[in-house]
Copies of this chain bind each other. A is one copy, B any other.
């Protein structure tokens, strides 16, 4: 890695930065792909976010920035534009800076999830999907899948209103996908889904309940996780034992550097 005046600079804006390794993941991938981009985390307090974003607008060699906790849902108000994905999801995780300083926010998680599926040989078009969890990443996944033409999404989330609101948002954008929402997975009658997704945090901690009952984990289905640690959750362990195709939480992260470089217009 060789950072010079010709290098395109990126930041990751966070508040507490100590835990951040995403800059390194991006830098490694960019270097592997021969892209002259360097990413540094910057510790920015919420009260300084607007000023920092305004400053970045004026820094000619900055290509854009990533956004993480606690700035993801608030940064949009300081940007000139957001993509339909970021608008629908209500959160921005990458921002492009155009030559003229114009900033555009995007949410790349849905595309990342879809690219991760494809990297595992799963084409989303036409699939019947069971998704549990409608939080930030769950929203991105549901929008991302509907954008690719999945046939249906059965969306389960403890907070029924949240599930319903996501369902409405997804079908409002993509009429070709049927979305059924529910607060209780016991209400889901179908059992032979093509793709079962855990978009909750269940599985991170020893002793967590399975996010979906065992009878949804059937041979021939693909089972995908958003939990990244452990790499093999109890859900994925069960799925492997039942000869499902399994997709770990890391799969949606791995395509991100390439997607980010493309979004920034650098690849």
Contact = CB atoms under 8 A, between A and B. Distances in A.
Given A51-B55, A55-B55, A60-B17, A41 B1 contact: no
B24 A43 contact: no
A261 to B, nearest CB: 17
Nearest to A9: B40
Given A21-B4, A23-B5, A61 B42 contact: yes
A39 interface: yes
B40 A19 contact: no
B9 A5 contact: no
Contact of A58 (B7, B21, B48, B62): B48
A191 B52 CA distance: 57
A52 to B, nearest CB: 6
Interface string A1-27: 111111101000010111111011001
Given A45-B58, A48-B58, A20 B40 contact: no
Copies of this chain assembled into the complex: 2
A58 B46 CA distance: 11
A56 B21 CA distance: 21
Given A55-B51, A58-B44, A59-B43, A5 B17 contact: yes
Contact of A3 (B14, B19, B40, B43): B40
Given A52-B55, A55-B52, A55-B55, A21 B5 contact: yes
A3 B17 contact: no
A38 B7 CA distance: 13
Contact of A61 (B21, B41, B59): B41
A167 to B, nearest CB: 36
A16 B7 CA distance: 13
5 contacts: A3-B38, A4-B20, A7-B23, A51-B55, A52-B58
Interface of A: 1-7, 9, 14, 16-21, 23-24, 27, 38-45, 48, 51-52, 55, 58-62
Given A2-B24, A38-B38, A48-B55, 19 more contacts: A1-B1, A1-B27, A3-B24, A3-B27, A3-B39, A5-B14, A5-B18, A5-B19, A5-B41, A7-B23, A7-B40, A38-B40, A40-B40, A42-B61, A43-B60, A48-B58, A52-B55, A52-B58, A55-B55
